[in-house]
Amino acid sequence: MAYFHGHRRDAVIDIGWPTNFTGGLEFINLTYTVTKKLKIEGKWESQDVDLLNNITGYAPKGSVTAVMGPSGAGKSTFLDGLAGRIASGSLKGMVSLDGKEISPSMIKRTSAYIMQDDRLFPMLTVYETLMFAADFRLGSVPTADKRQRVETLIEQLGLSSSRNTYIGDEGTRGVSGGERRRVSIGVDIMHGPSLLFLDEPTSGLDSTSAHSVIEKVHDIARAGSTVILTIHQPSSRIQLLLDHMIILARGQLMYQGGPKAVGTHLGRMGRKVPKGENSIEYLIDVIQEYDQSELGVEVLADFAATGMKPPPLPGSDDISVSAIATTPEPRQSQPQTSYEKELAKRLPLDDPGSANRYKNGFDHSVRSPWNTSSRSWTASNSGVVELLRMTPSKQKTSRMQNTHSPSSSYYGNSKDFIPPGTPTSMNSERTLSEGDFQPPYTTPLSSSRTSHLHPKFSNSFLSETWVLMRRNFINIRRTPELFLSRLMVLTVMGFMMATMFLKPKEDLQGITDRLSFFIFTVCLFFFSSNDAVPAFIQERFIFVRETSHNAYRASSYTIAGLITYLPFLALQSGAYAGIVWFPLRLRGSFLYFFIVLYASLLSTNSFVVFVSSVVPNFILGYAAVIAFTALFFLFCGYFVTSNNIPPYWSWMHSFSTMTYPYEGLLMNQYQTEDPFGKDPNGVSVTGTDILNGFNISLEHKKMWENVLIMLGWAVAYRLLFYIVLRFFSKNQRT
């Protein structure tokens, strides 16, 4: 998708709008079309379906904009589109931030996206979680300043009492749900983003925690950020904290404006809000009524776009709109309702125009930047009158044409149609002039237009790797079972093997026992890495969240994970090698024996990590690892020697990661001409005879080639792991 600005601000004067637009996010004709298979007349056919359909509007700076609507309205899709989380080319339209054109990659650098699920490391404290976020997002800022920023943020988010509490999870007691959500917000606002997106921030929280979260979000907005959030059913207290609303249904715009003006919008629609009922909830109920009727929500979208009153539903409580449409609302010198009184408390005391600005529950100083001077009203009104005379089909065509104009406003001003100051109509207010904006669906922004923005990543590669390693070691120290379990398995199995094959005899049975020991060791080391499957799958969600806004590189994450594993894998290999070497009277070099085990463990661990990055869950991950283990075991050369494997399967012998440690262990043990036993005829069997029987050539360089091949497989699997992370582990729609 290409984002464009193309809006002039020199025309914003007169008629009650501010002469200078305070900024924010603007979007024009956002359309997201996907292909779905639908069953039509008993046949499955592929059809294009609009999940978003020509949505035009804005989110004012310094305000909380709530995206609402019934289930399936397209709220999350709309939020993803604004946040640049829809694959390039799938989303059509124009987006600008503070009047400057912006691309999806740029919007990720200047924004934060708080997902519905809190993905945090459970064994880090609140302070540590935020401190690591500061290390990732604040770059070369001195450590003392980072700590001060974290301390200030903890206080602002109301987390002082839980500063040193673990985040926790199902198995570890930690912070409460509301506190966890605030920590998630703190992680993503650490760098002071100008844009903040939140997907259902109150989901799963009780009313008190939900209000606390939105209150903190409200404070963030007042500090100068543009905040856009999706919310399903806000309480009356939360509604007081919402400045701007965008209501969607079936991917179309139903309403945009302040919460207080919803009742007026319904009145002009011909629907009266029942006494004691919430106007926002009632509007959503009306939308669902139309959605379930033959008329559909398109008539409500037409009303929001043009002010054309929708046809009434049978049995609805429609009222006459003529009186509302011709009689201006009386101004009140003081707030009358509790809602207005609450709004009055939030007005800046030093602004004498605050009362007028917050008329109808919405700050008119941050209205649509596409409103123009009063000189354009005549043309605008005449267009609306002409629209009223059209047939319904022509009206829709006219509306679609008008939505391509960046001057389309959600606030109509024709006295003959809809009174001034009401967030309803989107009639065109001026003629589009050449050069105002770039046409939609053109090429993305050039790098020269975005070169003034800060770098893509805040830290260097080495700095990111060091921070990730520190975090990894802290998590390992607090969850020792992750590696202790693997160490205990190898230690216990080492003692069992040492006692089971203790001092093997120097005969054919002794040779067979040692061969069984070697192949079992190779399989044991392969299976011991299986616990890496659920470990990374759980961490993958955190990786996607953190890298979605360029906290660090996928390459630094890959390298940091590898370096973190190295000492623990060496400890496991050394423990097993030290236990079995002397009881089994193994020959050759102990150092080489240890290196083969270490390289084997490293290559198999890399393989399992790669598999875990591809599969969607740990069940499929275990299934894939077990399947490949069986294949590698079958073709490693133990059951069928390499020269006896059918030609069409011979490639599997080289592909098997068990081939090289198995051959390496055999070459280390049987690299001499010393006899290891006698055959039934009494002939001595030497080490060379054993290796020749397995079609293994005894060359000193061949032994180290096997080690290098194992290390090569480890590098190859880590490289594949990186490719999956870099190009296929993105939290975005296609």
Name the strand (E) or helix (H) holding 431.
Answer: none
Whether residue 294 has pLDDT greater than 70: yes
Helix axes 618-634, 590-614, angle to 10 degrees: 140
For residues 6-22, average pLDDT: 36
* Res 229: pLDDT: 95
Using CA atoms, how far residue 551 sits from 82, 122, 136, 187, 300, in Å, is 20, 19, 5, 10, 42
Q: Which residue has the tokens 């077990």?
A: 626
The CATH code of the domain that includes 236 is 3.40.50.300
CA dist 709 and 717 (Å) reads 12
Rounded to whole angstroms, how far apart are CA atoms 84 and 88? 8
Query: Domain count of the chain?
Result: 2
Tell me if 491 sits within 8 A of 579, measured CB to CB.
Answer: yes
List % helix, strand, coil for the chain (3-state, nearest 5). 50, 10, 40
pLDDT in tens, 209-228: 899 999 999 999 998 889 99
Write out pLDDT tens, residues 705-726: 999 999 999 999 999 999 999 8
CA atoms of 495 and 584, how far apart (whole Å): 11
Angle between helices 532-547 and 590-614 (to 10 degrees): 60
* Owner of token pair 């998630």: 184
- The Cα–Cα gap between 222 and 226 comes to 9
User: For residues 608 and 536, what is the distance between their CA atoms, to the nearest angstrom?
Assistant: 10
Mapping DSSP to helix (H, G, I), strand (E, B) and coil, where does residue 34 land? strand
Alpha helices for 314-427 (secondary structure H): 322-326, 338-345, 354-357, 377-388, 392-402
Contact 686, 674 (CB under 8 A): yes
Neighbouring-strand partners of residue 44: 39
DSSP 197-252: EEESTTTT--HHHHHHHHHHHHHHHHTT-EEEEE-SS--HHHHTT--EEEEEETTE
pLDDT of 177 strictly over 50 = yes
Interatomic CA distance for residues 134 and 607, integer angstroms? 33
**pLDDT for position 458:** 84
Q: Give, rounded to a whole angstrom, the gap between the first and last alpha carbons of the chain.
A: 11
Lowest mean pLDDT among 283-297, 409-423, 518-532: 409-423
User: 335 pLDDT exceeds 60?
Assistant: no
Give the helix/strand (H/E) hosting 59. strand 43-60
pLDDT in tens, 118-133: 889 999 999 999 999 9
Q: Provide Rg for the chain, Cα atoms.
A: 34
Instruction: State pLDDT tens for residues 244-282.
Output: 999 999 999 999 999 989 999 999 888 888 988 889 999
**In this structure, is residue 343 part of a structural domain?**
no
What pLDDT is recorded for position 680? 67
Predicted local distance difference test score (pLDDT) of residue 684? 77
CA–CA gap between residue 399 and residue 428 (Å, rounded):
9
d(CA 402, CA 473): 58
The pLDDT assigned to 40 comes to 74
pLDDT for the residue numbered 331? 34
Q: Is residue 325 part of a domain?
A: no
Quick one: pLDDT at residue 454? Answer: 58
Mean pLDDT across 234-240: 90
Q: How confident is the model at residue 99 (pLDDT cuts 50, 70, 90)?
A: confident
Give residue 88's pLDDT: 64
Distances (CA, A) of 674 to 22, 191, 662, 678: 88, 68, 21, 12
- Give mean pLDDT, residues 408-418: 30
Tens of pLDDT, residues 643-686: 888 888 989 998 999 999 999 999 998 887 776 766 667 677 78
Q: Decide which of 306, 329, 356 is a domain's last residue.
A: 306
Q: What integer pLDDT is reported at residue 678 of this predicted model?
A: 67
Average pLDDT, the chain: 77
690 close to 618: Cβ distance less than 8 angstroms: no
For residue 330, how many other CB atoms are within 10 A of its CB? 5
Q: Is residue 227 part of a domain?
A: yes
Give the distance, in angstroms, between the CA of residue 358 and the centroid of all CA atoms in the same chain: 35
DSSP 3-state assignment of 166? strand
| pLDDT for the residue numbered 677 | 66
Task: Mark which of 306, 331, 363 sits at the end of a domain.
Answer: 306
- The gap from C-alpha 546 to its chain's centroid, in whole angstroms, comes to 8
Condensed to tens digits (0 to 9), the pLDDT of residues 70-90 reads: 888 899 999 998 988 887 667
pLDDT digits (tens, 9 = 90+) for 605-655: 999 999 999 988 888 888 998 899 899 999 988 888 888 888 889 899 989
Q: Look at residue 433 in the predicted model and tell me its pLDDT.
A: 33
The residues near 242 (Cβ < 8 Å, ≥ 6 apart) are 64, 65, 66, 234, 259
Q: Would you say residue 593 has pLDDT above 60?
A: yes
Tokens of 471: 């975090």
In a domain, 3, yes or no: no
Decide if 418 is inside a domain. no
Pick from 271, 306, 341: which residue ends a domain?
A: 306
Helix (H) or strand (E) holding 108: helix 104-109
Between 452 and 206, name the one with better pLDDT.
206
pLDDT at 346 over 90: no
> Which is higher by pLDDT, 60 or 313?
60
* Residue 460 forms part of a structural domain: no
Q: Are 36 and 42 contacting, i.e. CB atoms less than 8 angstroms apart?
A: no
Whether 585 and 499 have beta carbons less than 8 Å apart is answered as no
* Mean pLDDT value of segment 187-214: 89
Q: Per-residue pLDDT tens for 487-506?
A: 999 999 999 999 988 887 77
pLDDT grade for 524, boundaries at 50, 70 and 90: very high
> How is residue 36 written in tokens?
């779905």
Handedness of CA 445, 447, 453, 458 (dihedral sign): positive
Question: Does a structural domain hold residue 468?
Answer: no
Residue 350 in domain: no
Which pLDDT value is given to residue 173? 87
- Domain containing residue 674: 486-531+569-729
Four-residue CA torsion sign, 300, 306, 307, 309: negative
Q: Given this model, what pLDDT does residue 557 score? A: 95
Is the confidence at residue 416, as pLDDT, over 60? no
The conformation of residue 315, written as its DSSP 8-state character, comes to T
Does position 345 have pLDDT exceeding 60, yes or no?
no
pLDDT at residue 563, rounded to an integer: 95
pLDDT of residue 732: 60
- Residue pLDDT, tens place only, 364-382: 333 333 333 332 333 333 3
**Model confidence at 135: pLDDT above 80:** yes
Return the number of other C-beta atoms located less than 10 Å from residue 348's C-beta: 10
User: Residue 712: phi, psi to the nearest 5?
Assistant: -65, -40
Share of the chain above pLDDT 70, in %: 76
**Greater confidence, 98 or 20?**
98
